[in-house]
Chains A and B, each alone.
Chain A
Amino acid sequence: MTSVECPDLEDLFNALEAGEGSALEHAGQCPLCTAIIEEHRLLEQDLYRLADPLPPPDLVHKVMARVAAEPTPARRELVTGLSILAASVVAGLGLLLFSDAALSGASTSLARLVVDGTALFEALLSGAHALWSTAAGPVAALLSLILFSSLFALKRLAGTGPTPSEA
């Protein structure tokens, strides 16, 4: 029977594991908690004495007999990979060829990408030209700063790598 002041056993064992806590302080003065801790300690000792049983002597032989009937893992991996690839290709082609909507959608998207990409590039070029004509000095300084920082960073990165002999 546990007295009302005794902490929850899980709290007590958490405190024991942590090595501190009010539960531990209580246990130091409570014969009931001390007895439970001692029972757990003895139980642990007994549990540590148990051992795994020896497997049947023919276990390895039986496993290897079943393994012998299997394809090698490398071959299985290749077959699985090729199967997935073939299924993906067939599904993709099937979707495009047998669905007019999908084919038309894919073509429209491709055409839009080409047109929009060209317009974006031209807009960027025009913006850069306008910037250069209005503030060539600061832009040149900024570009030089970025270039030199990048070169310095690359040099530092290359410097920390292993030497050819270490590699």
Chain B
Amino acid sequence: MLMADEATAPPWKASVVAARRGDPSAFEQLVRSVQRPVYGLALRLLGNEAEAAEVSQEAFLRAYQNLHRYDESRPFDLWVMAITRNLCLDLLRRRTKVKTEELEPMKEILPSMEASLEEGAIARQERQSLEEALNTLSADDREVLALYYVQRRTTKEIAQVLGCAPGTIMARLFRAREKLRKKMTTEEPT
């Protein structure tokens, strides 16, 4: 019976249980496993590397402090990402204004899956245009596009991170994509 439980237990459960008991290496393993999507989401929302790193640290610290409240049936990465998102939104609200100029350094930071030589300069330029257009969208639009296309999350997972009904995600995705399409269309040289 115990063996069956272990086999069906989610992969993060053992690390969470050990981390709750105070095993730092177990928590470190959890951080390593989810640091990239957490930092990626923070950077997409904030558009600033230093702030994204700071918020990611804070999110992991909050996760550690509230580990006893964490429901193990929920994926650990989605839980930490929900914390990260809330911290990012708090920071965005505190900002007096969000300027697209702030997002300039992101152009060369955000990589693509395809960096082959054949793609070359044209692909980089297209990606850069897409990133620039993406950065002009609202945080709501950026997060749903980033989670769905960049992180390849399902609508159910996205709903868990955003704290909304899964049925609303596809409509949000479409609206965000349509805004992005219009941005890209107006930016295209004639």
Contact = CB atoms under 8 A, between A and B. Distances in A.
A77 B67 CA distance: 9
A43 to B, nearest CB: 6
Contacts of B57: 59, 62-63, 66
A64 B19 CA distance: 12
Majority SS at the chain B contact face: helix
A49 B112 contact: yes
Interface string B143-158: 0010001111000000
A52 B21 contact: no
A66 to B, nearest CB: 5
Interface string A46-60: 111111111110011
Contacts of B150: 47, 50-52
Contact of B35 (A43, A60, A76): A60
Given A9-B178, A68-B24, A49 B109 contact: no
A154 interface: no
Interface residues of A, number: 38
Contacts of B1: 167
A60 B32 contact: yes
A13 B110 contact: no
A123 to B, nearest CB: 48
Interface stretch (B58-66, B71-79, B85-93, B96-104): B58-66
Given A10-B175, A55-B36, A64-B31, A74 B53 contact: no
Contact of A40 (B61, B110, B181): B181
A73 interface: yes
Contacts of A80: 68
B35 A55 contact: yes
Given A51-B112, A52-B150, A167-B1, A46 B31 contact: no
B43 A43 contact: no
Contact of A64 (B24, B170, B174): B24
Contact of B65 (A10, A49, A74, A76): A76
B5 interface: no
Given A46-B127, A60-B31, A55 B114 contact: no
B22 A56 contact: no
A63 B60 contact: yes
Contact of B21 (A50, A59, A74): A74
Nearest to B115: A51
B130 interface: yes
A164 to B, nearest CB: 11
A6 B149 CA distance: 28
A116 interface: no
Contacts of B56: 55, 59, 63
Contact of A73 (B22, B53, B181): B22
B145 A47 contact: yes
27 contacts: A13-B174, A14-B171, A36-B181, A39-B181, A39-B185, A40-B177, A44-B177, A47-B130, A47-B180, A49-B127, A50-B130, A51-B112, A52-B37, A52-B150, A53-B40, A55-B36, A55-B38, A55-B39, A60-B32, A64-B27, A67-B24, A67-B60, A68-B24, A70-B61, A73-B64, A73-B66, A77-B20
Task: Report, nearest first, the 3 A-B pairs whose CB atoms are least far apart.
Answer: A52-B40, A72-B22, A55-B39
